């Protein structure tokens, strides 16, 4: 396939993902992803530092992404989670959050569209977890040009700030990356994302570029190496115990028996994209 044709297919898939409900979409070429910070760092990080990890089903060592034979690029989609629609992020009655379900639906529609439109193009919607064949989603979104990593350690998009959730799909065609962006919203910012953190998670530098084979000092967790996932996870455990069993009537769901509302302070207090 010619380079021009590949770009045209890429643009069409991005357009269709948005048509099917994604808030934004882009392409990350796998050659670019392999050198991105999370992809370099995770295989080198010790197990003790793997909060949120689940058992590996890919047969690969911990932290290593299962690049599938023949796959060349990744379609990345976002779905905006505004402050007004907090329920999108909630674990209601222990079920997959509605926002995550929406992302899976959009991915499925794009997958069906590819199969019915492009002969020879193979696609594979990816699991959320790297342990189950997924990819590191924030870096993928950065390479796809959907935003940058902020000082809150989240993908910050120009339109919605960090208030988005992500999903991805492998493609067997070699489409060039549609990013990264040349943009830094965090420069000169007073960092309400960090000061609003209930656990003071960003209080000290705990990662050093010297401990990893190829990561610059500005590309560490939290950018400067201060994001401490273990302290953050203390808050997540508190949120699970709090279980706001308020038996609310929820739009698109009905009456809930239990709700887990995980902390989003570093996300909701970011100054970018407020109030959409």
Stretch of residues binding ligand SF4 (CB under 6 A), selected from 11-19, 165-173, 183-191, 243-251: 183-191
Contact range with ligand SF4 by CB under 6 A, out of 15-23, 128-136, 151-159, 248-256: 151-159
Q: In this chain, which of 130, 171, 260, 270 binds ligand B12, going by CB under 6 A?
A: 130
- Least Cα distance to 117 among 11, 21, 13, 24 occurs for 13
Report the residue from 10, 26, 133, 134 that binds ligand B12 according to the rule CB under 6 A: 134
CB-CB contact of 115 with 123 (8 Å)? yes
Closest approach, Cβ 4 to ligand B12, in A, equals 27
Indicate whether 235 belongs to the interface with ligand SF4 (CB under 6 A): yes
* Cα 154 off chain centre by: 8
Asked if 168 and 22 count as a contact pair (C-beta separation under 8 A), the reply is no
Supply 239's token pair: 């949120």
* Contacting residues for 273 by C-beta, under 8 A, at least 6 apart: 156, 157, 158, 159, 160, 161, 162, 163
Note whether 185 binds ligand B12 by CB under 6 A: no
Q: Considering only the stretches 21-29, 64-72, 105-113, 164-172, report the one whose residues sit in contact with ligand B12 under the rule CB under 6 A.
A: 164-172
Alpha-carbon distance 73 to 40, whole Å?
A: 18
Instruction: Name which position in 43, 125, 176, 198 contacts ligand SF4 (CB under 6 A).
Output: 198
Q: Which does 42 bind (CB under 5 to 8 A by kind): ligand SF4, ligand B12, none?
A: ligand B12
Identify the CA nearest to 32 among candidates 181, 130, 142, 153: 142
Q: Is 270 in the site for ligand SF4 (CB under 6 A)?
A: yes
Please report, as ranges, the residues that interact with ligand SF4 according to CB under 6 A: 150-152, 156, 185-186, 189, 191-193, 197-199, 201, 232, 235, 263, 265-266, 270-272
């Amino acid at each position: 396939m010619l380079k021009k044709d590949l770009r045209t297919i890429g643009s069409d898939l991005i357009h269709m993902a948005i048509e099917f409900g994604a808030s934004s979409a882009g392409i990350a070429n796998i050659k670019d992803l392999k050198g991105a910070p999370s992809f370099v760092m995770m295989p080198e990080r010790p197990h003790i530092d793997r909060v949120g990890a689940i058992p590996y089903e890919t047969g690969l060592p911990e932290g290593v992404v299962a690049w599938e034979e023949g796959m060349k690029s990744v379609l990345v989609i976002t779905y905006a989670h505004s402050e007004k629609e907090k329920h999108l992020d909630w674990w209601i009655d222990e079920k997959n959050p509605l926002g995550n379900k929406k992302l899976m639906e959009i991915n499925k529609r794009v997958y069906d569209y590819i199969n019915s439109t492009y002969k020879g193009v193979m696609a594979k919607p990816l699991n959320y977890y790297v342990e189950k064949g997924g990819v590191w989603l924030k870096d993928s979104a950065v390479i796809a040009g959907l935003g940058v990593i902020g000082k809150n350690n989240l993908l910050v998009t120009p339109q919605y700030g960090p208030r988005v959730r992500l999903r991805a799909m492998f493609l067997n065609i070699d489409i060039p990356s549609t990013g990264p962006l040349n943009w830094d919203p965090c420069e000169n910012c007073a960092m309400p994302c960090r000061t609003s953190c209930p656990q003071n998670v960003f209080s000290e530098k705990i990662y050093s570029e010297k401990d990893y084979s190829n990561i610059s000092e500005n590309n560490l967790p939290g950018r400067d190496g201060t994001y401490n996932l273990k302290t953050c996870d203390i808050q997540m455990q508190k949120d699970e115990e709090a279980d706001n069993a308020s038996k609310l009537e929820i739009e698109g769901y009905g009456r809930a028996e239990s709700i887990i509302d995980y902390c989003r302070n570093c996300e909701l207090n970011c100054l970018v994209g407020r109030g959409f």
